[in-house]
Amino acid sequence: MKHTLVALVEDKPGVLNRVASLFRRRSFNIESLTVGHTHEPNVSRMTIVVDTELTAPHLVEANLLKLVNVIDVHDVSNAPTVMRDLALIKVQADAGSRAEIAQLADIFRAKIVDVAPDSVMVEVTGDEDKIDGLVELLRPRGIIEMVRTGQVAMVRGAVSANGNGNGNGQ
């Protein structure tokens, strides 16, 4: 089982280090961690996916809340949530196989974002399963390199992790 936590943190030097250090020190097993800006200045947002077989999500949440620079934490696992991951996949492709890869990409609503004589780069966005599915189809053709952003999550509807939509993080 996986749990997804959304943490709002102060956008200050060293905050990511504090969070990472906490996970290391407590031996928390983290599947993925992403961090980026929010619509508010000085507030960053982390999406943390926890493998619950190895780590109790309530302990991750409670320990995160003890960090002074953490503004709030929500476990969104049981809420209706949009989860997205973005991958760039560079695959071996010559003139003969390019069209077939383009077709596959089409089915996954992925895009070809670069073409070279011996390779193409595919950009795909979606939930984890969808990207895993495309990767498995491309793997036999020879993946040259791949990068994934890790998951970001947002709960559907008007609620906001930043507070009741007033966006002051309080």
Partner 1 sequence: MAQLTGAQIIWESLVKEGVEVIFGYPGGAILPTYDAMLDYPIHHVLTRHEQGATHAADGYARASGKVGAVIVTSGPGATNTVTGLATAMLDSSPIVCITGQVGSSVLGSDAFQEVDVTGITLPITKHNYLVTRADDIARTIHEAFYIAKSGRPGPVLVDITKDAQNAKTEFVYPTQVEMHKRHEHLLSESQLKRAAEMIDQAERPVILAGHGVLISGAMRQLRDLAEKTQTPVALTLLGIGVFPREHPLCLGMMGMHGEAYANRAVQAADLVIGIGMRFDDRVTGNLKTYSPHSKKIHIEIDRSEIAKNVHVDLPLVGDAAGVMDQLIPLVSAQQRHNWIEQIDEWADDTRARDILKRDASGKLLPPHVIGDLWQATGGDAIVVSDVGQNQMWEAQYYRHSAPRSLITSGGLGTMGFALPAAMGVKFARPEAEVWVVAGDGGFQMTAAELQTIQQESLKINIAILNNGFLGMVRQWQEFFYQRRYAATPITSPDFVKLADAHGIAGIRVTKREDVIPAIQTARDHPGSMLIDFRVESEESVYPMVPAGADLHAMIRRPVEAS
Q: Which residues are CB-neighbours of 27 under 8 A, at least 6 positions away?
A: 55
Nearer to partner 1, 79 or 143 (CB): 79
Please report whether residue 1 would count as binding partner 1 according to CB under 8 A: no
Please report whether residue 165 would count as binding partner 1 according to CB under 8 A: no
- Name residue, tokens 């990511």: 16
- Per-residue binding string, partner 1, 56-95, x by CB under 8 A, is x-xx--xx-xxxx-xxx-----------------------
Q: How far is the CB of 98 from partner 1 (least distance, A)?
A: 49
**Residue from 80, 61, 53 nearest 23 by CA:** 61
Q: What CA–CA distance (Å, rounded) separates 4 from 11?
A: 21
Using the rule CB under 8 A, which residue among 21, 29, 42, 164 binds partner 1? 21
Residue 3's φ and ψ, nearest 5 degrees, are -115, 145
Q: How far is the CB of 16 from partner 1 (least distance, A)?
A: 12
Please report whether residue 14 would count as binding partner 1 according to CB under 8 A: yes
Nearer to partner 1, 71 or 124 (CB): 71
Binding to partner 1, residues 122-141 (CB under 8 A) = none
| Contact between 28 and 60 (Cβ < 8 Å) | yes
Q: What CA–CA distance (Å, rounded) separates 115 from 144?
A: 13
Nearer to partner 1, 138 or 161 (CB): 161
Q: How many residues bind partner 1 (CB under 8 A)?
A: 20
Q: Which residues are CB-neighbours of 18 under 8 A, at least 6 positions away?
A: 67, 69
Q: What CA–CA distance (Å, rounded) separates 10 from 114?
A: 36
Q: Which residues bind partner 1 (CB under 8 A)?
A: 10, 14, 17-18, 21, 25, 56, 58-59, 62-63, 65-68, 70-72, 169-170
